[in-house]
Amino acid sequence: MNVLIDKFDVFAGGFWLTLQICLLAAIGALILGAVVAVLRISPVPPLRAVGTGYVNIFRNLPLTVVMFFAAFGLPALGSNADFLRIPGLDLIFSRLGTDLPYFRFALIALVLYTAAFVCEALRSGVNAVPAGQAEAARSLGLTFGQNLRYVVLPQSWKASVVPLGSVIIAMIKNSALVGFFGVVGDLSQTADQLTSAEGHAFVPVAIGISIGYLIMTVPLGALLDHIEKRQAVAR
């Protein structure tokens, strides 16, 4: 078990990189997922079709396949995903700005995939708001946007937050795939590095990275339980 102490800095580095990609992917997926959700509930049929098409594709493909498309498809199209080299942001998340594009590719794949689930979590919240609320808002003359902003979304949030949290927890675990698509040094790739390349025993290393993932997911799960209990009391 000495590897946990001797290689603590390696585990810590892997933890930090996984945390970075998860933070960025969560923000991206929440924004994109919200946009897709608005499309899916829009009164304009072509917009609804775009939203539904998006969800049908990205919810139903394995993340691995999406990762393949990002890591091999984008370069084939001549893109290095340079639009993600966001000035300022790359000071904290240094991998955003590197010449090697695999961190950005993996981030794109994780965002595209997770956004489909975020959309559905948000939409299930919207569907939990009684139809009469939106009807009353429409009958007052509120536009679609005002209806969402002042009437539907403030009430849907309660029903969305727990499923949203589950989506983010799943995303953190899914991020373990990025190490196999060229991202060097995240938690799971750290395990590969320590066992295959440096010859450390597998089980202690696996315990080490498990602790890393649990540090991220368990508090999030506890927070969700807390929110759920508070809602139960309020009801």
The footprint of other proteins (CB under 8 A) covers: 43-44, 130, 132-133, 135-143, 146, 150-151, 154-155
Contact 128, 163 (CB under 8 A): no
- CB nearer to other proteins: pick between 154 and 219: 154
- CB nearer to other proteins: pick between 80 and 124: 124
Contact 102, 183 (CB under 8 A): yes
Min CB(139)–other proteins separation in Å: 4
Q: Is 79 left (phi over 0), alpha (psi -120 to 50) or beta?
A: beta
Min CB(193)–other proteins separation in Å: 51
- CB nearer to other proteins: pick between 140 and 203: 140
Min CB(226)–other proteins separation in Å: 21
Min CB(151)–other proteins separation in Å: 6
- CB nearer to other proteins: pick between 153 and 167: 153
Min CB(138)–other proteins separation in Å: 6
- CB nearer to other proteins: pick between 52 and 155: 155
Min CB(148)–other proteins separation in Å: 12
- CB nearer to other proteins: pick between 8 and 150: 150
